[in-house]
A and B are shown apart, each in its own frame.
Chain A
Amino acid sequence: MSDGVPSLLARPDRGVLRLGKHVFPAGQPLIMAIVNRTPDSFFQPGVTWAESAALDRVHQAIGDGADIIDVGGIPAAPGADVDVDEEIRRTAGFIAAVRSSYPDVVISVDTWRHETARAACESGADLLNDSWGGYDERLAEVAAEFGAGLVCAHVGRQRPRTRPFRVGYADVMADVLVRTLALASQALQAGVQPDRIVLDPAHDFGKNTWHSLEVTRRLDELTETGWPVLVSLSNKDFVGESLDLPPEHRLAGTLAATAVCAWHGARIFRVHQVPESRQVVDMVATIRGDRPPTRAVRGLA
Chain B
Amino acid sequence: MLIAAALCPAPPLLACELTGAEPVLPELRQACREAVDELVHADPEMVAVVGAAPETRTWDPRARLDLTAYAPALAGLGRSVPGTDRDAGNAGVPGPPEHTATESLRGLPLPVGLGSRLLDDAGYGGERRLQSVGADTPPVECAALGSRLAAAAPRTALLVMADGSARRSRRAPGYLDPRAGPFDAQVARAIRDGDMTALLALDAGLAAELLATGRPAWQVLAGAMTGHRPSCQVRYDDDPFGVAYLVASLAVG
Contacts and interface: CB of A to CB of B under 8 A. Distances in A.
B19 A295 contact: yes
Contact of B19 (A289, A291, A296): A296
Given A300-B13, A301-B173, A295 B20 contact: yes
Interface string A109-149: 00000000000000000000000000000000000000000
Contact of B242 (A296, A300, A301): A301
Contact of B13 (A289, A292, A293, A297): A297
Contact of B12 (A289, A291, A294, A300): A300
Contact of A294 (B18, B22, B166): B22
Nearest to B20: A293
Contacts of B73: 289
A300 B71 CA distance: 10
Contacts of B12: 299-300
A295 B240 CA distance: 15
Contacts of B18: 296, 300
A295 B81 contact: no
Given A291-B83, A292-B83, A292-B84, A297 B21 contact: no
A202 to B, nearest CB: 31
Given A300-B12, A300-B70, A301-B11, A295 B22 contact: yes
B241 interface: yes
A300 B11 contact: yes
Interface of B: 11-13, 18-22, 24, 70, 73, 81-84, 166, 173, 240-243
Interface of A: 289, 291-297, 299-301
Q: Closest 5 interchain pairs by CB?
A: A301-B241, A293-B20, A300-B13, A300-B12, A296-B20
29 contacts: A291-B21, A291-B83, A292-B20, A292-B21, A292-B81, A293-B19, A293-B21, A294-B20, A294-B21, A294-B22, A295-B19, A295-B21, A295-B24, A296-B19, A296-B20, A296-B24, A297-B13, A297-B19, A297-B24, A297-B241, A299-B12, A299-B173, A300-B13, A300-B18, A301-B13, A301-B166, A301-B173, A301-B240, A301-B241
